[in-house]
Homo-oligomer: A and B are copies of this chain.
Amino acid sequence: MSKHGFDSADLRIKPGQPVKLSQFDAQGDGSLDKDKTKALTETLHDELYQLQSRLYAEGKQSLLVVLQAMDAGGKDGTIKSVFRGLNPQGVVVTPFKVPTPAELAHDFLWRVHQRTPAKGQIGIFNRSHYEDVLVVRVNQLVPEKVWRARYDQINAFEQMLSEAGTRIVKFYLHISRDEQKERLVDRLNSPDEQWKFSTSDLPVRERWDDYMQAYEEVLKRCSTESAPWYVIPANRKWQRNYFVTRILIETLKDMNPKYPKPEPGLDKVVIPD
């Protein structure tokens, strides 16, 4: 983390950069004050709302936010914390689950493409096409030759989206193995959260190292100039929300959406009684 405050470049993976996730500290920045950062994040949410209003009004560009993480990594929590407060008319969240038979009868990008955000919209993918080189790879659900080809296919797809006016940011919410244990134990013991607990998550936890390796290849091969991956230290939720919000604001500022010009001749319009 930069000594001079937040710098998104510290969290962004450079194209082709080899990644060892064990060297990324999921705890985040020890110099950040919790209360001050939370208060700052609140202020930033107002800024995010203003930027979204302009994006929506402009109606020419869209923003696609991809969220990936291990179970209990905070995908749902990030959506709730960071995107609550935006105008729901301009936000579309898509959670991708186990593919249906109809989805499996098509290529892996088919269901994803249908859910990319329209102009003016912010689209959020809760899981994504990256599952097709993560869970699919770890469990060998398709032959290696098939999933190996997908990194380039994903890059080409995202490149096309980007050229068509969709800006893409991808967040890997990085929690430690210990933090995951703590969160799963909390879920087990909280009456309001028990329903989220599924014993099917446990075999995934057992394959932790395989998943890390799969994520490392994703980060190295699919972080591009037009669709970068960010590794977000996510053990502490308030830091995670702060980092994600900062990066979204930076991205939207760079997109620089503008209120559209009014119809010509409005100065002569009179509204009749």
Residues of A participating in the B interface, judged by any CB pair closer than 8 Å? 57, 76, 79-80, 83-89, 91-93, 95, 124, 126, 177, 181, 184-185, 188, 191-192, 194-199, 202, 205-206, 259-263, 265-266, 269, 271-273
Complex interface: chain B residues within 8 A of A191 (CB): 259
Do A88 and B89 have beta carbons less than 8 Å apart?
Answer: no
Pairs across A and B, CB under 8 Å, 19 listed: A57-B196, A79-B88, A79-B89, A80-B88, A80-B89, A84-B86, A84-B88, A88-B124, A89-B95, A92-B92, A181-B271, A184-B271, A185-B271, A188-B266, A188-B269, A188-B271, A194-B266, A202-B272, A205-B272
Choose one: B57, B85, B95, B273; the contact of A85 (CB below 8 Å): B85
Question: A93 — which chain B residues lie within 8 A by C-beta?
Answer: 88-89
Residues of B within 8 A of A185 (CB): 271
Q: How far is the CA of A271 from the CA of B197 in the complex (A)?
A: 11
Distance in angstroms between the alpha carbons of A66 and B87 in the assembled complex: 17
Give bound CA distance, A34 to B11, whole Å: 46
- Are B79 and A87 interface neighbours, CB within 8 A? yes
How many Å from the CB of A135 to the closest CB on chain B? 19
Q: Which of B124, B194, B202, B273 contacts A271 (CB 8 A)?
A: B202
Give the distance in Å from the alpha carbon of A259 to the alpha carbon of B206 in the complex.
28
Smallest distance from the beta carbon of A83 to chain B beta carbons, Å? 5
Do A199 and B95 touch across chains, with their CB atoms under 8 A apart?
A: no
What residues of chain B lie closer than 8 Å to A194, measured between beta carbons?
A: 262, 266
